């Protein structure tokens, strides 16, 4: 009997698909935290967005402080992804050039930044997990955030550089190539599982920041 295509075993999912599938519930839960639904629904203010953005200035400064190490895959150090300087530029344009003084890190933010500094010391699978969740999120849901902040709060393009990947001609193609690069990482199963577990934790860190922002920022009447 000649085997047909239907008889062939299904291919094993690559690492990128495994991470995406494993974190789907955490992803949905995080983006539905009340602060984010209020912010994206136009229920807050531009000042509340500034508070949000300042917290992530600390996060990206920690994420991008990692020094490249021998054996690092090239895509993890792509300068086209760097967002820390863009966030600081946005904050200055939003009147918060003094963000470190005016918007100190919340405890949840400090915990997230500390974890990024920790895994950045040499734990490649766990660092890659945060790299993946942050930058692919910026290229995906981040684009919707930019549109809504402009629509509801009047943010101008010079206040939304965070979401403008000017050096990436096509975010769709870039994301596809990024996932292929993840799949090509020479991780054994223990390393792959470490990345998956850390990606789940990354959404938890984000959710903790959103919760803290929600507690500090009551909904505003539109």
Spell out the SS3 assignment of 55-114.
Answer: HHHHHHHHHCCCCCCCCCCHHHHCHHHCCHHHHHHHHHHCCCCCHHHHCCCCHHHHHHHH
For residue 218, the model assigns a pLDDT of 65
Average pLDDT over residues 103-109: 98
Angstrom CA distances, 191 to 59, 181, 187, 198, 200, stand at: 24, 15, 5, 10, 14
**pLDDT(106) > 50:** yes
What does pLDDT average to over the chain? 93
Per-residue confidence band for 11, with pLDDT thresholds at 50, 70 and 90: low
Give percent of the chain above pLDDT 70. 93
Q: In this structure, which topology does domain 13-216 adopt according to CATH?
A: Heme Oxygenase; Chain A (1.20.910)
Give the start-to-end residue ranges of the domains of the chain: 13-216
Name the band, by pLDDT with cuts 50, 70 and 90, for residue 4: very low
Give the separation between CA 19 and CA 22, rounded to whole angstroms: 5
pTM: 0.92
Residues with Cβ within 8 Å of residue 88, at least 6 apart in sequence: 57, 99
* Residue 150: strand, helix, or coil: helix
Q: Each residue of 130-148: pLDDT tens digit?
A: 999 999 999 999 999 999 9
pLDDT at residue 13, rounded to an integer:
86
Q: What pLDDT does 5 receive?
A: 47
CA 46 to chain centroid, in Å, comes to: 21
pLDDT at 31 > cutoff 60: yes
> Among 1-15, 70-84, 148-162, 193-207, which stretch is predicted with the lowest mean pLDDT?
1-15
């Amino acid at each position: 009997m000649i085997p047909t295509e239907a008889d062939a075993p299904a291919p094993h999912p690559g690492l990128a698909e495994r991470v995406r599938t494993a974190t789907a519930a955490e992803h949905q839960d995080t983006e539905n935290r009340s602060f984010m639904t209020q912010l994206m629904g136009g229920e807050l203010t531009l000042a509340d967005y500034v508070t949000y953005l300042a917290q992530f200035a600390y996060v990206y400064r920690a994420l991008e402080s990692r020094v490249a190490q021998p054996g690092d895959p090239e895509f993890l150090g792509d300068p086209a992804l760097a967002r820390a300087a863009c966030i600081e530029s946005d904050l200055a344009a939003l009147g918060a050039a003094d963000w470190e003084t005016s918007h100190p890190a919340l405890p949840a933010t400090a915990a997230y930044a500390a974890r990024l500094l920790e895994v950045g010391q040499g734990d490649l699978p766990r660092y890659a997990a945060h790299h993946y969740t942050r930058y692919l999120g910026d290229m995906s849901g981040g684009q919707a955030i930019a549109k809504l902040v402009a629509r509801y709060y009047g943010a101008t393009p010079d206040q939304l550089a965070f979401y403008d990947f000017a050096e990436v001609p096509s975010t769709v193609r870039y994301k596809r190539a990024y996932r292929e690069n993840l799949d090509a990482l020479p991780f054994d199963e223990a390393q792959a599982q470490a990345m998956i577990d850390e990606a789940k934790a990354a959404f938890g860190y984000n959710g903790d920041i959103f919760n803290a922002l929600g507690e500090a920022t009551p909904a505003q009447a539109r």
